Structure formats: C-alpha cells, structure tokens
Amino acid sequence: MQNNLRVVTLDGPAGVGKTTLAKRVAQELSIAYLDTGAMFRIFGWKFGEAAPTMSEQELEAHIAQYAFSLSGIGFKSVLSVNGTPVGDEIRTEEVAALASSVAKLPVVRDALKRVQREISTQTSLVAEGRDMGSVVFPTARYKFFLDATAEERGSRRFNQLQEMGKPADLDLIITQIKERDMQDRTRSIAPLIAAKDANIIDTTELDIEGVFTAIMDFFE
C-alpha cells in the first residue's frame, strides 16, 4: 500500500478533530503529518494585523524570510520554521483569527502552496488543512473531508479546555468558530470546501475512534 501512497488529504472546518486524526492516520501509515494550519498561523502571528494592508512586494519580502521544513513521522512529525520547531505560541484564538485573515491573501496562499507541494516531493504525508484536497493536492489518491455542526465542535473544544483546567466560555467558543467558518468558507480564493472526489465524513455523532476507523477502512 505504501509504495503508491504519496499524499493523504484531510480537510475540514475548525475544531472538527482533524489534528488528532491526521496525526493518528499518519502514525498508522508510517508517514509524515503536515499541519498546514500551523503555517498560516506562523504568518498570522509574524505579520500581524497589518498584513492585509501590505503590498504584494512587502508581503513577498516578509514571506521570503521564512523557510519551513518537516521531519519525523506520525506523532513524532515536527514542522520547523528556520530550523526551530513550531511551538504552542501559535495555539491561541487570537493567532487563529490572524491566520484566517492572512489566509485570504493570494500571495500568502501561493507561497504556502509551493512550500506544501515541495515538502510532498520529499516525503509521503498526511496533509491537514482547508484546501489540501481541493487546491494543493488535487491528484491525491486518498482525500477526506470531516465535518460537524459548529455547536458540536464548540462543545468539544470547551471540554478540551476544561480538561486542561483552562477557563472556557462555550457561547464565546461557538461564536468564534462560526466567525472563522464564515471567513474560511466565503473567501474568494481556496475557500473551505470538500473536493469533489473527497470522502466526506460527518463526525457529529462519532467519537474519535469511530472517525479513525471510518478513515482507515478506505485503506483496506
């Protein structure tokens, strides 16, 4: 199976469980896991709110300062920027909103698309994101699109935060998820949408185990 396996795409909206599943699928298949959301988060975090007002030349000059690389497989996959592994500093709702905002910029999307494709020439991988199956890897053999209602995704996130002992406001989380959905689904370039040939899995009634089994069934 692995000889002809190059790229598995896993797309879907915020909070649907993509990261947990993508890492697990990569581990099971012994291939790398690529978190493309982290790439947009890095640019959102580094460029800040000013990004949408920058000229294309300015943005290109900023983008050129960052080199991404991917090492390891499965749970041990590590995405680095300029040689430093990406850390938890990008895992906040503020950075997520900035990421969503830079993700609308064609220059940013084009640059990251090139980097993502380049990485896929070096290693087989599970690529997690919004447009992996539809735009970046249209010829991928295995494509998955996960979905669930905003309320369900919000309550999963709420439970995660509570388990970590972090303060959480369910209504606020659901509102933020809906806002990010809106930005991601309505942008004119590479909107969040299932590729025509993607396997769509509605996870609303499934736990992680159920979704994992549903995905792995396609590989047998």
The rounded distance, in Å, linking the Cα atoms of 24 and 201 is 16
The rounded distance, in Å, linking the Cα atoms of 71 and 122 is 10
**Could you write out the DSSP letters of every residue in 120-136?**
HHHS-EEEEESSIIIII
Helices 18-29 and 208-217: angle between axes, nearest 10 degrees: 50
The rounded distance, in Å, linking the Cα atoms of 18 and 5 is 20
Considering only residues 32, 137, 184, 198, which one is a binding residue for ligand C5P as defined by CB under 6 A?
A: 184
Q: Which stretch binds ligand C5P (CB under 6 A): 55-63, 127-135, 142-150, 165-173?
A: 127-135
Least distance from ligand C5P to the Cβ atom of residue 112, Å = 8
Least distance from ligand C5P to the Cβ atom of residue 36, Å = 4
The binding track of 29-48 with respect to ligand C5P, each residue x by CB under 6 A or -, is -------xx--xx-------
133 is a contact residue toward ligand C5P (CB under 6 A): no
134 is a contact residue toward ligand C5P (CB under 6 A): no
The rounded distance, in Å, linking the Cα atoms of 107 and 110 is 5
Considering only residues 10, 21, 34, 96, which one is a binding residue for ligand C5P as defined by CB under 6 A?
A: 96
Residues 6+ away with beta carbon under 8 Å from 218: 142, 144, 199
156 is a contact residue toward ligand C5P (CB under 6 A): no
Per CB under 6 A, contacts with ligand C5P among 97-126 are 99-100, 103
> Which residues of the shown chain bind ligand C5P in the complex (CB under 6 A)?
14, 36-37, 40-41, 96, 99-100, 103, 129-132, 180, 184
